[in-house]
Amino acid sequence: MGRIRAQALEAAGARINCIYDVEDAPVDGYRRAPSLAALTHDPNVDAIVICLPNHLNMPTTIAALQNGKNVFCEKPPCFTSKQMREIIAAERASHRVLMYGFNHRHHEAILKMKSLIDSGRFGPILWMRGRYGKSVDAAYLSTWRADRALAGGGILMDQGIHMLDLFLHLAGRPFDEVQAMVSSRYWKIRGIEDNVFALFRNSGTGVTVSFHSTMTQWRHLFSLEVFLERGYLVLNGLKTSSSTYGEEILTIAKNRTSAPAATFDDEERLHFQTDSSWQREAAQFLSAIESGISPSSGSSSDALKVMELIDRIYSVNWHHSTTLHSQLLPHKDEELMEIE
């Protein structure tokens, strides 16, 4: 990720002063800082891009902001919404730009979906459905991603967080009702979920979301569906350098004219052959620094909304498990208590 970000920033006009890697592997083409602290304190550095293991994201972000650096950080920003508020406090005190790598917002298909939704052409959103999954092998068990203290969680933190951000981005408002089931049936790693099934709803608008995040999807999958009052948008596949998620194809339904629904002949299919999301994201970060204005996408406010939703998913699942356990115990009816 560090190399991808460096190349995108250079293409956007930035100069990479130096890099730091938590591993000792040689990195050609860049001056290497002797330590992370040396990089965050370097007076010749205007901005820092953080592509570290998850547990280092929060402390490095705060240290960089406190030393007057603009910061671009990969997801997840931290492990809880409480921690995110601590980061925001440091951001406000620093008067510097902070942006997070919710890269999927910058894919061509997502930009098209957002513009169509905001145009009102198909009316308001009724519901959304998202599935995002990949397959991992046994080597995963030996990495920091299989340690909750270092990763903060499993597939939800690793990959599902992108889909959560897209739901919030497209809906334009948070979800106040959450139901979820989190499990680790296959890999059985304590504290590292391999599947999340969740339902969200905004009680004001009624927009409802069905979500599945998984690392037991034996053939990688990305699918995002948005159904509106007068049509639908269905994105299958995501253009990546590895092509493991297939071709990025957006299906758009024409306005429905009569029941029961649109037909296949009513559909328009757009094929996106290139991925310019990294360059677009880098350019937005540099633009935010030059203007001194918070980025329009991937802001700390966006990150806080995602982390609040993640908190709800993990906590609701815990409450449901506790409720089920209590109901299995031989209590008298009057002693049963519902956990709010």
Q: Do domains 2-102+282-292 and 108-238+240-273 have the same CATH topology?
A: no
pLDDT tens per residue across span 24-34: 777 788 899 99
- At residue 283, does pLDDT exceed 80? yes
Tell me how far apart the alpha carbons of residues 331 and 112 are, in angstroms, rounded to a whole number.
55
To the nearest whole percent, how much of the chain has pLDDT over 90?
Answer: 84
CATH homologous superfamily for the domain 2-102+282-292: NAD(P)-binding Rossmann-like Domain (3.40.50.720)
> Hey, where are the domains in the chain?
2-102+282-292, 108-238+240-273
Both tokens of 176, joined, read: 């106040």
pLDDT tens per residue across span 56-106: 999 999 999 999 999 999 999 999 999 999 999 999 999 999 999 999 999
- At residue 330, does pLDDT exceed 80? no
- At residue 276, does pLDDT exceed 50? yes
Estimate the crossing angle of helix 300-328 against helix 161-171, to 10 degrees. 110
Tell me how far apart the alpha carbons of residues 41 and 282 are, in angstroms, rounded to a whole number.
22
- 133 closest CA partner among 103, 110, 108, 163: 163
The model's pTM is 0.91
- 113 closest CA partner among 240, 244, 12, 228: 228
- 40 closest CA partner among 9, 4, 3, 73: 73
- At residue 286, does pLDDT exceed 60? yes
* Residue matched to tokens 């972000």: 61
Both tokens of 117, joined, read: 């939704």
As a CATH number, domain 108-238+240-273 is: 3.30.360.10
pLDDT at site 64: 97
* Residue matched to tokens 């590292």: 192
- 142 closest CA partner among 189, 86, 80: 189
Q: CA angle, 159 as apex, 14 and 298 as ends, to 5°? A: 40
Asked which of 60-64, 251-255, 257-261, 331-335 is least confident by mean pLDDT, the reply is 331-335
Residue 82's contacts (CB-CB under 8 Å, 6 or more residues apart) are none
pLDDT at site 317: 63
pLDDT tens per residue across span 118-174: 999 999 999 999 999 999 999 998 999 999 999 999 999 999 999 999 999 999 999
Residues in the chain: 340
